[in-house]
Structure 1
Protein backbone atom coordinates (compact mmCIF):
# COMPACT_ATOMS: atom_id res chain seq x y z
CA UNK A 1 0.00 0.00 0.00
CA UNK A 2 1.33 3.43 -0.96
CA UNK A 3 2.39 5.76 1.83
CA UNK A 4 0.01 8.66 2.52
CA UNK A 5 0.83 12.04 1.03
CA UNK A 6 -0.02 13.73 4.35
CA UNK A 7 -0.15 12.01 7.71
CA UNK A 8 -1.14 13.46 11.09
CA UNK A 9 -0.89 11.55 14.35
CA UNK A 10 -1.84 12.88 17.78
CA UNK A 11 -1.72 16.55 16.72
CA UNK A 12 -2.67 18.95 19.50
CA UNK A 13 -2.75 22.73 19.64
CA UNK A 14 -3.79 24.99 22.49
CA UNK A 15 -3.80 28.71 23.09
CA UNK A 16 -3.42 29.08 26.83
CA UNK A 17 -6.22 27.07 28.46
CA UNK A 18 -8.18 26.80 25.21
CA UNK A 19 -7.59 23.41 23.58
CA UNK A 20 -8.23 23.91 19.87
CA UNK A 21 -6.95 20.59 18.48
CA UNK A 22 -7.15 17.56 20.71
CA UNK A 23 -5.29 14.64 19.18
CA UNK A 24 -5.96 14.71 15.44
CA UNK A 25 -5.23 11.53 13.47
CA UNK A 26 -5.64 11.85 9.71
CA UNK A 27 -4.11 10.30 6.61
CA UNK A 28 -4.61 11.65 3.10
CA UNK A 29 -3.56 9.64 0.06
CA UNK A 30 -1.81 11.11 -2.96
CA UNK A 31 -4.38 12.44 -5.42
CA UNK A 32 -7.16 12.39 -2.83
CA UNK A 33 -9.45 15.33 -2.10
CA UNK A 34 -10.15 15.58 1.64
CA UNK A 35 -12.74 17.99 2.97
CA UNK A 36 -12.86 18.99 6.63
CA UNK A 37 -16.22 20.32 7.77
CA UNK A 38 -17.33 21.82 11.06
CA UNK A 39 -18.78 24.93 12.59
CA UNK A 40 -16.98 28.16 13.32
CA UNK A 41 -14.35 27.88 16.02
CA UNK A 42 -13.97 24.10 15.79
CA UNK A 43 -10.30 24.25 14.78
CA UNK A 44 -10.48 23.89 10.97
CA UNK A 45 -8.25 26.87 10.17
CA UNK A 46 -5.81 26.01 12.94
CA UNK A 47 -5.52 22.49 11.52
CA UNK A 48 -4.74 23.91 8.09
CA UNK A 49 -2.14 26.30 9.49
CA UNK A 50 -0.42 23.50 11.40
CA UNK A 51 -0.13 21.38 8.25
CA UNK A 52 1.23 24.39 6.35
CA UNK A 53 3.73 25.12 9.10
CA UNK A 54 2.28 28.55 9.84
CA UNK A 55 1.58 27.30 13.36
CA UNK A 56 3.55 24.80 15.41
CA UNK A 57 1.49 22.10 17.13
CA UNK A 58 2.07 21.50 20.83
CA UNK A 59 2.42 17.77 20.25
CA UNK A 60 2.03 15.15 17.57
CA UNK A 61 3.44 14.33 14.15
CA UNK A 62 2.77 15.92 10.76
CA UNK A 63 4.43 14.17 7.84
CA UNK A 64 4.44 15.13 4.17
CA UNK A 65 5.64 12.38 1.83
CA UNK A 66 6.90 10.53 4.89
CA UNK A 67 9.01 13.46 6.11
CA UNK A 68 8.39 14.89 9.57
CA UNK A 69 7.67 18.61 9.20
CA UNK A 70 7.04 19.84 12.74
CA UNK A 71 10.73 20.43 13.48
CA UNK A 72 12.02 21.76 10.17
CA UNK A 73 14.38 24.70 9.93
CA UNK A 74 13.66 27.66 7.70
CA UNK A 75 15.38 26.33 4.56
CA UNK A 76 13.90 22.86 4.92
CA UNK A 77 10.48 24.39 5.51
CA UNK A 78 10.81 26.46 2.32
CA UNK A 79 11.64 23.27 0.40
CA UNK A 80 8.50 21.52 1.69
CA UNK A 81 6.37 24.62 1.11
CA UNK A 82 7.29 24.39 -2.57
CA UNK A 83 4.84 21.48 -2.73
CA UNK A 84 1.90 23.60 -1.53
CA UNK A 85 -0.56 25.95 -3.19
CA UNK A 86 -3.23 27.81 -1.20
CA UNK A 87 -6.56 29.38 -2.09
CA UNK A 88 -7.20 31.73 0.82
CA UNK A 89 -10.68 32.39 2.17
CA UNK A 90 -10.99 35.99 1.02
CA UNK A 91 -8.88 35.51 -2.09
CA UNK A 92 -6.09 37.63 -0.49
CA UNK A 93 -5.11 39.21 -3.79
CA UNK A 94 -2.63 42.08 -3.79
CA UNK A 95 -4.66 45.22 -4.55
CA UNK A 96 -1.67 47.13 -5.95
CA UNK A 97 -0.73 44.43 -8.47
CA UNK A 98 -2.47 43.68 -11.73
CA UNK A 99 -4.21 40.33 -12.05
CA UNK A 100 -1.41 38.70 -14.04
CA UNK A 101 1.15 39.95 -11.50
CA UNK A 102 -0.88 38.35 -8.71
CA UNK A 103 -0.92 35.01 -10.52
CA UNK A 104 2.78 35.26 -11.41
CA UNK A 105 3.83 36.34 -7.91
CA UNK A 106 4.97 32.90 -6.77
CA UNK A 107 6.88 31.95 -9.92
CA UNK A 108 8.69 35.31 -9.91
CA UNK A 109 9.33 35.80 -6.19
CA UNK A 110 9.88 32.21 -5.08
CA UNK A 111 11.20 30.52 -8.21
CA UNK A 112 13.07 33.43 -9.79
CA UNK A 113 11.26 32.94 -13.09
CA UNK A 114 11.90 35.67 -15.68
CA UNK A 115 9.00 38.13 -15.86
CA UNK A 116 8.14 37.42 -19.50
CA UNK A 117 7.98 33.68 -18.86
CA UNK A 118 5.96 34.18 -15.66
CA UNK A 119 3.52 36.36 -17.58
CA UNK A 120 2.94 33.51 -20.03
CA UNK A 121 2.39 31.12 -17.12
CA UNK A 122 -0.12 33.56 -15.63
CA UNK A 123 -2.04 33.77 -18.91
CA UNK A 124 -2.15 29.96 -19.14
CA UNK A 125 -3.40 29.57 -15.56
CA UNK A 126 -6.01 32.29 -16.04
CA UNK A 127 -7.16 30.36 -19.09
CA UNK A 128 -7.41 27.22 -16.95
CA UNK A 129 -9.99 28.97 -14.74
CA UNK A 130 -11.92 30.41 -17.68
CA UNK A 131 -10.46 33.92 -17.81
CA UNK A 132 -9.04 35.54 -20.94
CA UNK A 133 -5.63 37.27 -21.09
CA UNK A 134 -7.29 40.70 -21.12
CA UNK A 135 -8.37 40.10 -17.51
CA UNK A 136 -4.69 39.95 -16.58
CA UNK A 137 -4.33 43.67 -17.21
CA UNK A 138 -7.02 44.62 -14.69
CA UNK A 139 -6.64 45.25 -10.96
CA UNK A 140 -8.48 43.03 -8.44
CA UNK A 141 -10.78 45.93 -7.48
CA UNK A 142 -12.14 45.92 -11.03
CA UNK A 143 -13.35 42.31 -10.73
CA UNK A 144 -16.47 40.77 -9.23
CA UNK A 145 -16.17 38.50 -6.22
CA UNK A 146 -16.49 35.39 -8.37
CA UNK A 147 -13.80 36.55 -10.79
CA UNK A 148 -11.50 37.42 -7.90
CA UNK A 149 -11.95 33.88 -6.59
CA UNK A 150 -11.02 32.51 -10.03
CA UNK A 151 -7.87 34.64 -10.04
CA UNK A 152 -7.01 33.38 -6.56
CA UNK A 153 -7.44 29.82 -7.83
CA UNK A 154 -5.18 30.56 -10.81
CA UNK A 155 -2.55 31.87 -8.39
CA UNK A 156 -2.89 28.76 -6.21
CA UNK A 157 -2.09 26.49 -9.17
CA UNK A 158 0.51 28.77 -10.82
CA UNK A 159 3.48 26.78 -9.50
CA UNK A 160 1.75 23.45 -10.24
CA UNK A 161 1.77 22.33 -6.60
CA UNK A 162 1.49 18.73 -5.46
CA UNK A 163 -0.85 19.72 -2.62
CA UNK A 164 -3.52 22.43 -2.72
CA UNK A 165 -5.33 23.86 0.31
CA UNK A 166 -8.74 25.46 -0.12
CA UNK A 167 -9.85 27.65 2.78
CA UNK A 168 -13.63 28.20 2.58
CA UNK A 169 -13.47 28.46 -1.23
CA UNK A 170 -17.13 29.43 -1.75
CA UNK A 171 -17.57 31.93 1.10
CA UNK A 172 -19.34 35.10 -0.04
CA UNK A 173 -20.43 33.71 -3.41
CA UNK A 174 -23.96 33.20 -4.65
CA UNK A 175 -25.00 29.55 -5.19
CA UNK A 176 -24.42 29.61 -8.96
CA UNK A 177 -20.96 31.14 -8.77
CA UNK A 178 -20.12 28.83 -5.87
CA UNK A 179 -20.96 25.87 -8.12
CA UNK A 180 -18.77 27.31 -10.88
CA UNK A 181 -15.86 27.58 -8.43
CA UNK A 182 -16.48 24.03 -7.19
CA UNK A 183 -16.36 22.74 -10.78
CA UNK A 184 -13.12 24.64 -11.42
CA UNK A 185 -11.56 23.25 -8.25
CA UNK A 186 -12.43 19.69 -9.30
CA UNK A 187 -11.01 20.31 -12.80
CA UNK A 188 -7.79 21.98 -11.64
CA UNK A 189 -7.04 19.37 -8.98
CA UNK A 190 -7.68 16.57 -11.49
CA UNK A 191 -5.57 18.18 -14.23
CA UNK A 192 -2.63 18.63 -11.84
CA UNK A 193 -3.05 15.22 -10.22
CA UNK A 194 -2.79 17.11 -6.94
CA UNK A 195 -3.77 16.17 -3.41
CA UNK A 196 -6.37 18.57 -2.02
CA UNK A 197 -7.42 19.58 1.48
CA UNK A 198 -10.41 21.86 1.84
CA UNK A 199 -12.08 23.34 4.89
CA UNK A 200 -15.65 24.49 4.54
CA UNK A 201 -19.07 24.68 6.12
CA UNK A 202 -20.72 24.64 2.68
CA UNK A 203 -22.12 21.14 2.28
CA UNK A 204 -22.85 21.57 -1.43
CA UNK A 205 -19.17 22.35 -1.91
CA UNK A 206 -18.04 19.48 0.31
CA UNK A 207 -20.14 16.98 -1.64
CA UNK A 208 -18.86 18.16 -5.01
CA UNK A 209 -15.12 18.58 -4.39
CA UNK A 210 -14.45 15.89 -1.79
CA UNK A 211 -13.59 12.22 -2.10
CA UNK A 212 -13.60 11.92 1.66
CA UNK A 213 -15.01 14.07 4.45
CA UNK A 214 -14.00 14.50 8.09
CA UNK A 215 -15.87 16.48 10.72
CA UNK A 216 -14.15 18.50 13.41
CA UNK A 217 -16.06 19.18 16.61
CA UNK A 218 -14.54 20.68 19.75
CA UNK A 219 -11.05 20.02 18.43
CA UNK A 220 -11.61 16.35 17.63
CA UNK A 221 -12.13 14.55 14.35
CA UNK A 222 -15.36 12.84 15.33
CA UNK A 223 -16.14 11.18 11.98
CA UNK A 224 -14.48 10.59 8.64
CA UNK A 225 -15.44 8.57 5.61
CA UNK A 226 -16.23 8.65 1.87
CA UNK A 227 -18.38 11.60 0.85
CA UNK A 228 -21.07 9.21 -0.35
CA UNK A 229 -21.51 7.85 3.16
CA UNK A 230 -22.00 11.15 4.96
CA UNK A 231 -25.80 10.93 4.89
CA UNK A 232 -25.65 7.62 6.77
CA UNK A 233 -22.77 8.42 9.10
CA UNK A 234 -24.67 7.26 12.17
CA UNK A 235 -23.20 10.27 14.01
CA UNK A 236 -25.74 12.70 15.49
CA UNK A 237 -23.31 15.65 15.30
CA UNK A 238 -22.62 15.04 11.61
CA UNK A 239 -26.32 14.58 10.86
CA UNK A 240 -27.23 17.85 12.56
CA UNK A 241 -24.47 19.77 10.80
CA UNK A 242 -25.07 18.56 7.26
CA UNK A 243 -28.80 19.27 7.52
CA UNK A 244 -28.35 22.61 9.30
CA UNK A 245 -30.65 21.83 12.20
CA UNK A 246 -30.82 24.11 15.23
CA UNK A 247 -31.80 21.18 17.46
CA UNK A 248 -29.25 18.51 18.23
CA UNK A 249 -26.09 17.75 20.20
CA UNK A 250 -24.22 20.76 18.76
CA UNK A 251 -25.03 23.82 20.83
CA UNK A 252 -24.28 27.24 19.37
CA UNK A 253 -22.73 29.66 21.82
CA UNK A 254 -25.09 32.61 21.87
CA UNK A 255 -24.09 35.56 24.02
CA UNK A 256 -26.93 36.99 26.05
CA UNK A 257 -27.43 40.73 25.82
Structure 2
Protein backbone atom coordinates (compact mmCIF):
# COMPACT_ATOMS: atom_id res chain seq x y z
CA UNK A 1 0.00 0.00 0.00
CA UNK A 2 1.35 3.41 -0.92
CA UNK A 3 1.42 6.34 1.44
CA UNK A 4 -1.21 8.13 -0.64
CA UNK A 5 -3.56 5.15 -0.39
CA UNK A 6 -2.97 4.94 3.35
CA UNK A 7 -4.24 8.48 3.93
CA UNK A 8 -7.76 8.80 5.33
CA UNK A 9 -10.14 10.41 2.88
CA UNK A 10 -11.32 12.61 5.75
CA UNK A 11 -9.33 13.08 8.95
CA UNK A 12 -10.74 15.09 11.85
CA UNK A 13 -8.73 15.94 14.94
CA UNK A 14 -9.84 17.70 18.16
CA UNK A 15 -12.65 19.58 16.41
CA UNK A 16 -14.26 22.13 18.71
CA UNK A 17 -17.29 24.30 17.98
CA UNK A 18 -19.22 26.46 20.43
CA UNK A 19 -22.03 28.94 20.06
CA UNK A 20 -21.58 31.22 23.01
CA UNK A 21 -21.60 29.04 26.11
CA UNK A 22 -23.09 26.10 24.19
CA UNK A 23 -20.21 23.74 23.44
CA UNK A 24 -21.52 21.61 20.57
CA UNK A 25 -18.36 19.79 19.49
CA UNK A 26 -15.81 19.24 22.25
CA UNK A 27 -12.92 17.46 20.60
CA UNK A 28 -14.20 15.26 17.78
CA UNK A 29 -11.67 12.78 16.37
CA UNK A 30 -12.64 10.71 13.36
CA UNK A 31 -10.98 9.02 10.37
CA UNK A 32 -12.93 8.02 7.27
CA UNK A 33 -11.07 5.76 4.85
CA UNK A 34 -11.50 5.92 1.07
CA UNK A 35 -14.55 3.90 0.04
CA UNK A 36 -15.97 3.72 3.56
CA UNK A 37 -19.65 4.34 4.17
CA UNK A 38 -19.71 5.81 7.66
CA UNK A 39 -22.89 6.71 9.49
CA UNK A 40 -22.70 9.14 12.40
CA UNK A 41 -25.55 8.52 14.82
CA UNK A 42 -26.64 10.59 17.77
CA UNK A 43 -29.60 12.37 19.26
CA UNK A 44 -31.09 15.67 18.18
CA UNK A 45 -28.76 18.52 19.01
CA UNK A 46 -25.73 16.25 19.35
CA UNK A 47 -23.81 18.17 16.67
CA UNK A 48 -24.12 15.90 13.64
CA UNK A 49 -25.19 18.69 11.27
CA UNK A 50 -22.56 21.03 12.74
CA UNK A 51 -19.93 18.41 11.91
CA UNK A 52 -21.02 18.29 8.26
CA UNK A 53 -21.09 22.08 8.02
CA UNK A 54 -17.55 22.29 9.36
CA UNK A 55 -16.27 19.83 6.75
CA UNK A 56 -18.03 21.85 4.03
CA UNK A 57 -16.51 25.09 5.33
CA UNK A 58 -19.92 26.56 6.17
CA UNK A 59 -18.96 26.82 9.83
CA UNK A 60 -15.55 27.69 11.24
CA UNK A 61 -14.46 25.72 14.31
CA UNK A 62 -12.81 27.41 17.26
CA UNK A 63 -10.12 24.73 17.27
CA UNK A 64 -9.13 21.53 15.52
CA UNK A 65 -8.17 20.17 12.12
CA UNK A 66 -10.09 18.76 9.15
CA UNK A 67 -8.08 17.23 6.34
CA UNK A 68 -9.45 15.90 3.05
CA UNK A 69 -6.96 13.79 1.08
CA UNK A 70 -4.31 15.07 3.49
CA UNK A 71 -5.06 18.75 2.79
CA UNK A 72 -6.04 21.01 5.69
CA UNK A 73 -9.39 22.63 4.90
CA UNK A 74 -10.02 24.61 8.07
CA UNK A 75 -9.42 28.24 7.22
CA UNK A 76 -9.66 27.87 3.44
CA UNK A 77 -11.62 30.52 1.55
CA UNK A 78 -12.42 31.50 -2.02
CA UNK A 79 -11.20 29.29 -4.85
CA UNK A 80 -9.30 26.96 -2.51
CA UNK A 81 -12.47 26.20 -0.54
CA UNK A 82 -14.48 25.77 -3.74
CA UNK A 83 -11.92 23.23 -4.99
CA UNK A 84 -12.49 21.17 -1.84
CA UNK A 85 -16.27 21.47 -2.09
CA UNK A 86 -16.06 20.25 -5.68
CA UNK A 87 -14.99 16.88 -4.29
CA UNK A 88 -18.21 16.60 -2.28
CA UNK A 89 -21.78 15.80 -3.29
CA UNK A 90 -24.69 16.30 -0.90
CA UNK A 91 -28.13 14.81 -0.47
CA UNK A 92 -30.00 17.23 1.76
CA UNK A 93 -32.62 16.16 4.29
CA UNK A 94 -35.49 17.79 2.39
CA UNK A 95 -33.82 17.25 -1.03
CA UNK A 96 -33.57 21.11 -1.19
CA UNK A 97 -34.56 21.34 -4.85
CA UNK A 98 -34.89 24.73 -6.51
CA UNK A 99 -38.63 25.28 -7.08
CA UNK A 100 -38.08 27.50 -10.12
CA UNK A 101 -35.94 24.98 -12.01
CA UNK A 102 -37.01 21.82 -13.79
CA UNK A 103 -35.84 18.48 -12.44
CA UNK A 104 -33.02 18.13 -14.96
CA UNK A 105 -31.88 21.69 -14.29
CA UNK A 106 -31.74 20.87 -10.58
CA UNK A 107 -29.65 17.77 -11.24
CA UNK A 108 -27.35 19.68 -13.59
CA UNK A 109 -26.99 22.74 -11.35
CA UNK A 110 -23.44 21.93 -10.21
CA UNK A 111 -22.43 21.26 -13.80
CA UNK A 112 -23.88 24.40 -15.35
CA UNK A 113 -23.07 26.78 -12.48
CA UNK A 114 -19.96 25.23 -10.96
CA UNK A 115 -18.26 23.72 -14.01
CA UNK A 116 -19.80 26.04 -16.64
CA UNK A 117 -20.77 23.02 -18.74
CA UNK A 118 -22.95 23.88 -21.77
CA UNK A 119 -26.64 23.33 -21.01
CA UNK A 120 -27.31 20.60 -23.56
CA UNK A 121 -24.26 18.63 -22.46
CA UNK A 122 -25.26 19.07 -18.82
CA UNK A 123 -28.78 17.95 -19.62
CA UNK A 124 -27.52 14.67 -21.07
CA UNK A 125 -25.47 14.05 -17.92
CA UNK A 126 -28.52 14.90 -15.78
CA UNK A 127 -30.75 12.46 -17.66
CA UNK A 128 -28.12 9.75 -17.25
CA UNK A 129 -27.97 10.38 -13.50
CA UNK A 130 -31.76 10.31 -13.28
CA UNK A 131 -31.75 6.95 -15.03
CA UNK A 132 -29.22 5.67 -12.50
CA UNK A 133 -31.68 6.43 -9.68
CA UNK A 134 -34.57 4.82 -11.55
CA UNK A 135 -36.27 7.88 -13.06
CA UNK A 136 -37.26 8.13 -16.71
CA UNK A 137 -36.15 10.95 -18.99
CA UNK A 138 -39.59 12.63 -19.01
CA UNK A 139 -39.29 13.22 -15.27
CA UNK A 140 -36.49 15.64 -16.11
CA UNK A 141 -39.01 18.06 -17.60
CA UNK A 142 -41.20 18.18 -14.48
CA UNK A 143 -41.06 20.81 -11.77
CA UNK A 144 -40.20 19.78 -8.18
CA UNK A 145 -43.77 20.59 -7.09
CA UNK A 146 -44.98 17.75 -9.31
CA UNK A 147 -42.88 15.12 -7.52
CA UNK A 148 -43.67 12.83 -4.62
CA UNK A 149 -41.41 12.78 -1.56
CA UNK A 150 -39.66 9.65 -2.76
CA UNK A 151 -39.08 11.08 -6.21
CA UNK A 152 -37.62 14.26 -4.71
CA UNK A 153 -35.14 12.15 -2.75
CA UNK A 154 -34.16 10.34 -5.96
CA UNK A 155 -33.66 13.64 -7.76
CA UNK A 156 -31.61 14.91 -4.83
CA UNK A 157 -29.47 11.78 -5.05
CA UNK A 158 -29.03 12.23 -8.82
CA UNK A 159 -27.86 15.80 -8.19
CA UNK A 160 -25.47 14.62 -5.48
CA UNK A 161 -23.68 12.30 -7.91
CA UNK A 162 -23.94 14.49 -11.02
CA UNK A 163 -20.45 15.97 -10.70
CA UNK A 164 -18.87 12.58 -9.91
CA UNK A 165 -17.73 13.60 -6.42
CA UNK A 166 -15.18 11.66 -4.38
CA UNK A 167 -17.26 12.11 -1.22
CA UNK A 168 -21.04 12.12 -0.76
CA UNK A 169 -22.82 13.44 2.34
CA UNK A 170 -26.29 12.19 3.21
CA UNK A 171 -28.29 14.28 5.69
CA UNK A 172 -31.12 12.19 7.19
CA UNK A 173 -31.80 10.53 3.81
CA UNK A 174 -34.98 8.69 4.86
CA UNK A 175 -36.72 11.53 6.72
CA UNK A 176 -40.35 11.85 5.63
CA UNK A 177 -40.43 8.54 3.75
CA UNK A 178 -42.47 5.45 4.54
CA UNK A 179 -40.45 2.33 5.48
CA UNK A 180 -40.61 0.77 2.01
CA UNK A 181 -39.56 3.93 0.19
CA UNK A 182 -36.89 4.51 2.82
CA UNK A 183 -35.45 1.06 2.17
CA UNK A 184 -35.51 1.73 -1.60
CA UNK A 185 -33.62 5.01 -1.16
CA UNK A 186 -31.07 3.28 1.07
CA UNK A 187 -30.55 0.60 -1.57
CA UNK A 188 -29.99 3.29 -4.20
CA UNK A 189 -27.54 5.12 -1.95
CA UNK A 190 -25.47 1.97 -1.55
CA UNK A 191 -25.58 1.21 -5.28
CA UNK A 192 -24.65 4.66 -6.57
CA UNK A 193 -21.97 5.23 -3.94
CA UNK A 194 -20.29 1.93 -4.70
CA UNK A 195 -20.62 2.41 -8.46
CA UNK A 196 -18.94 5.81 -8.17
CA UNK A 197 -16.25 4.49 -5.82
CA UNK A 198 -17.16 7.36 -3.52
CA UNK A 199 -16.71 7.71 0.23
CA UNK A 200 -20.00 8.14 2.05
CA UNK A 201 -20.77 10.07 5.23
CA UNK A 202 -24.33 9.92 6.54
CA UNK A 203 -25.98 11.47 9.56
CA UNK A 204 -29.26 9.94 10.71
CA UNK A 205 -31.54 9.03 13.60
CA UNK A 206 -32.96 6.08 11.63
CA UNK A 207 -31.17 2.95 12.85
CA UNK A 208 -32.69 0.69 10.20
CA UNK A 209 -31.37 3.05 7.53
CA UNK A 210 -28.00 3.34 9.28
CA UNK A 211 -27.55 -0.43 9.26
CA UNK A 212 -28.47 -0.71 5.58
CA UNK A 213 -26.20 2.08 4.36
CA UNK A 214 -23.04 1.72 6.40
CA UNK A 215 -20.06 -0.51 6.89
CA UNK A 216 -18.99 1.66 9.87
CA UNK A 217 -20.80 3.62 12.55
CA UNK A 218 -19.71 6.29 14.98
CA UNK A 219 -21.80 7.76 17.78
CA UNK A 220 -21.61 11.44 18.68
CA UNK A 221 -22.60 12.23 22.27
CA UNK A 222 -21.92 15.33 24.34
CA UNK A 223 -19.64 16.73 21.67
CA UNK A 224 -17.36 13.70 21.24
CA UNK A 225 -17.23 10.43 19.34
CA UNK A 226 -17.88 7.87 22.08
CA UNK A 227 -17.78 4.76 19.86
CA UNK A 228 -16.52 4.02 16.35
CA UNK A 229 -16.49 0.60 14.75
CA UNK A 230 -17.82 -1.85 12.19
CA UNK A 231 -21.59 -1.80 11.71
CA UNK A 232 -21.84 -5.53 12.27
CA UNK A 233 -20.22 -5.02 15.69
CA UNK A 234 -22.50 -2.26 16.96
CA UNK A 235 -24.98 -4.59 18.68
CA UNK A 236 -22.21 -6.11 20.78
CA UNK A 237 -20.12 -2.96 21.25
CA UNK A 238 -20.50 -2.99 25.03
CA UNK A 239 -21.02 0.77 25.24
CA UNK A 240 -24.18 1.44 27.29
CA UNK A 241 -24.85 4.78 25.59
CA UNK A 242 -24.66 3.25 22.12
CA UNK A 243 -26.73 0.22 23.11
CA UNK A 244 -29.46 2.41 24.58
CA UNK A 245 -29.55 4.65 21.51
CA UNK A 246 -29.61 1.95 18.84
CA UNK A 247 -32.35 0.03 20.67
CA UNK A 248 -34.39 3.13 21.47
CA UNK A 249 -34.70 2.34 25.15
CA UNK A 250 -36.09 5.15 27.35
CA UNK A 251 -34.10 4.00 30.39
CA UNK A 252 -30.32 4.16 30.48
CA UNK A 253 -27.36 6.50 30.84
CA UNK A 254 -28.58 8.95 28.19
CA UNK A 255 -31.80 9.56 30.12
CA UNK A 256 -29.79 9.91 33.31
CA UNK A 257 -27.73 12.65 31.65
CA UNK A 258 -30.93 14.50 30.70
CA UNK A 259 -32.15 14.22 34.29
CA UNK A 260 -28.80 15.54 35.53
CA UNK A 261 -29.16 18.65 33.38
CA UNK A 262 -32.86 19.36 33.69
CA UNK A 263 -34.20 17.31 36.58
TM > 0.5 = yes
**Structure 1: tracts of 5 or more residues without a match:** none
Aligned residue among 111, 130, 134 for 1:130: 134
Alignment equivalent of 2:224, drawn from 191, 196, 220: 220
| Structure 1 residue 60 corresponds to structure 2 residue 33 | no
Match of 2:13 in 1: 9
Give the secondary-structure state (helix, strand or coil) at the position aligned to 1:75: helix
1:233 aligns with 2:223: no
- What residue number does 1:165 align with? 169
State the partner residue of 1:110: 114
Report the Cα distance in structure 1 between the residues aligned to 2:15 and 2:211, rounded to whole angstroms: 26
- Does residue 105 of structure 2 align to residue 79 of structure 1? no
CA distance in 2, matches of 1:75, 1:139: 32
Say which structure is richer in helix: 2
State the secondary structure of the residue aligned to 1:241.
helix
Q: Which of 25, 29, 35 is residue 25 of structure 1 equivalent to?
A: 29
Contact (CA 8 Å) 2:29, 2:224: kept in 1 or not?
no
Paired with 1:72 and 1:4, the residues of 2 have a C-alpha distance of 19
Q: Distance in 2 between matches of 1:117 and 1:63?
A: 33
Alignment of 1:144 with 2:148, yes or no, is yes
2-structure distance, mates of 1:134, 1:76: 37
Q: Which runs of 5+ in 2 are unaligned?
A: none
Normalising to structure 1: TM-score of the pair? Answer: 0.97
Whole-Å Cα distance in 2 between the matches of residues 135 and 199 of structure 1? Answer: 28
Q: TM-score scaled to structure 2, two decimals?
A: 0.95
Point out the more displaced range, 1-10 or 182-191: 1-10
The residue aligned with 1:36 is 40
- For residue 188 of structure 1, the aligned residue among 163, 188, 192 is 192
CA-CA distance at 1:51 after TM superposition: 0.8
How far 1:132 moved relative to its partner? 0.2
Matched, 1:179 2:183: yes
* Runs of 4+ residues deviating >2 angstroms: 251-254
Q: Separation in 2 of the partners of 1:131 and 1:125?
A: 9
**Deviation (angstroms), 1:73:** 2.4
State which of 196, 200, 206 in structure 1 corresponds to 2:204. Answer: 200
Distance 2:19 2:28 in 1: 16
Report the Cα distance in structure 2 between the residues aligned to 1:191 and 1:178, rounded to whole angstroms: 20
Indicate if the aligned counterparts of 2:27 and 2:64 stay in contact, CA closer than 8 A. yes
Aligned twin of 2:101: 97
Q: Which residue of 2 aligns with 1:48?
A: 52
The Cα shift of 1:71 comes to 1.7
1:249 maps to what in 2?
A: 253
